[in-house]
A and B are shown apart, each in its own frame.
Chain A
């Protein structure tokens, strides 16, 4: 059964099927494109257990445990034990630098859905320049191998920036060699603080246009890059993405947001129950927004192929407006300019 089908049912019922839970903002790398600010406190182990219990009670099935680098939490395995006992499908997001044989073996015991590992290149000069952590490639590759030796499912998350735009073929080949999934992301977003300096790291539109037409990266590129069709009624009646429909984000101190990239604070789980926050008036108000309610995007020629991020739009100052980065991406994807891009240019 496709996840999208379950997610759609969850959204119709208002169930938070998938939650992204950051355990810490501390990290042993300092990636040039990171959208987080590495400050702030953290839940205690007991608090995390309480959060997981609330999520299970609310119907959440999938929890993505992330950070920062989650292995900097000494109680990570205690947290995973709790998640496992509460019958979550667990996804772990890590740079794998702190995963040795013992850690890999323990991870296997929790039978995670998969472990997502960030890998920017197989060349240390490129990878380590992005992580700004000398020796990080070697440590990451070691961690990945330990995971695979234990039979843990791994997905290599390859963020494509202007600094590593020609590395993906080698990373894809490596993924195939070790039996890992390959997934890429070619959009560098602003920091959640609003600092937009990271955006300059995006691959230029012309290069992105070529990337999206590489059949090795996107075997269905012809379908993906075809000219946009006018959005139909069903599309306009729909919501833009899963954020707040069937998913949300919880920070290391219990702040609940629609998504890690959507900096609208809905409440804090230390003061208000998750259920109250999830069903609160602010969440309900954001959840009620349909595609047809977006005054500019709903009339845009590219809306049906646009992956508009409400969080990015929000960071640009208008929660109901377009996100210029998504407009740019739609332009690269289709090879034609969205009308909105013309208007805003």
Chain B
């Protein structure tokens, strides 16, 4: 997944709340809260940047974390967001 392109689902509502992100899923009214590291991945998910590049340019740069560990965490996060219908993943660039 780390070489995949990720994009926020256009149907969900989201706002920054401090250094976190709150996401509202209209299908069922569920709210999700992303911690600061997850929020960095979410905000950079423009569909044109690969996940590994996002991790390198955001989480790894801003936090004192191991790159491999940060990438693995981001992969797990993206898998959860895709499962929740909040994000899309593709081998090719996506429309934001």
- Within B29-79, the residues touching A (CB, 8 Å) are 29-33
Q: Is the CB of B24 within 8 A of A89?
A: yes
Q: Is the CB of A113 within 8 A of B24?
A: yes
For B32, what are the chain A residues with a Cβ–Cβ distance below 8 Å?
Answer: 1
Could you tell me the dominant secondary structure of chain B's interface residues?
strand
- Within A1-35, the residues touching B (CB, 8 Å) are 1-3, 5-6, 9-10, 13, 15, 17
Q: Given A9-B18, A87-B13, A114 and B29 touching (CB < 8 A)? A: yes
Q: Is the CB of A9 within 8 A of B17?
A: yes
Could you tell me the dominant secondary structure of chain A's interface residues?
loop
Cα distance A15–B11 when bound, in Å?
23
Contacts A/B (CB < 8 Å), 26 sampled: A1-B31, A1-B33, A3-B31, A6-B31, A9-B20, A9-B22, A9-B33, A10-B17, A13-B17, A13-B18, A15-B17, A17-B15, A17-B17, A59-B15, A59-B16, A59-B17, A61-B13, A61-B15, A61-B22, A61-B24, A111-B11, A111-B26, A111-B27, A112-B26, A114-B29, A153-B29
B14 within 8 A of A: yes
Mark A residues whose CB is within 8 Å of B.
1-3, 5-6, 9-10, 13, 15, 17, 56, 59-62, 87-89, 111-114, 153
Q: Name, among A5, A59, A89, A112, the residue most crowded by chain B CB atoms within 10 Å (CB to CB).
A: A89
Cα distance A209–B32 when bound, in Å?
37
Write the chain A residue with the least CB distance to B20: A9
For A6, what are the chain B residues with a Cβ–Cβ distance below 8 Å?
Answer: 17, 22, 31, 33
For B18, what are the chain A residues with a Cβ–Cβ distance below 8 Å?
Answer: 9, 13
Taking residues whose C-beta sits less than 8 angstroms from the other chain, chain B's interface range is 10 to 19
For A2, what are the chain B residues with a Cβ–Cβ distance below 8 Å?
Answer: 31
Write the chain A residue with the least CB distance to B14: A87
Q: Is the CB of B31 within 8 A of A113?
A: no
Q: Lowest 3 CB-CB distances: which A-B pairs, in order? A: A111-B26, A89-B24, A1-B31
Cα distance A13–B19 when bound, in Å?
10
Cα distance A13–B24 when bound, in Å?
19
Q: Chain B nearest CB: distance from A60 CB in Å?
A: 7
Query: What 12 new A-B contacts, CB under 8 Å, besides A59-B15, A59-B17?
Result: A1-B33, A5-B33, A6-B22, A9-B18, A17-B15, A59-B16, A60-B15, A61-B24, A87-B12, A87-B13, A88-B13, A113-B24
For B22, what are the chain A residues with a Cβ–Cβ distance below 8 Å?
Answer: 1, 6, 9, 61
Cα distance A56–B14 when bound, in Å?
10
Q: Is the CB of A89 within 8 A of B13?
A: yes
Cα distance A111–B30 when bound, in Å?
13
For B24, what are the chain A residues with a Cβ–Cβ distance below 8 Å?
Answer: 61-62, 89, 113
For A3, what are the chain B residues with a Cβ–Cβ distance below 8 Å?
Answer: 31
For A111, what are the chain B residues with a Cβ–Cβ distance below 8 Å?
Answer: 11, 26-27
Q: Is the CB of B17 within 8 A of A113?
A: no
Cα distance A101–B78 when bound, in Å?
38
For B33, what are the chain A residues with a Cβ–Cβ distance below 8 Å?
Answer: 1, 5-6, 9
For A153, what are the chain B residues with a Cβ–Cβ distance below 8 Å?
Answer: 29
Q: Is the CB of A113 within 8 A of B29?
A: yes
Q: Chain A nearest CB: distance from B5 CB in Å?
A: 21
Write the chain B residue with the least CB distance to A59: B15
For B11, what are the chain A residues with a Cβ–Cβ distance below 8 Å?
Answer: 111
Q: Name, among B13, B24, B30, B32, the residue most crowded by chain A CB atoms within 10 Å (CB to CB).
A: B13
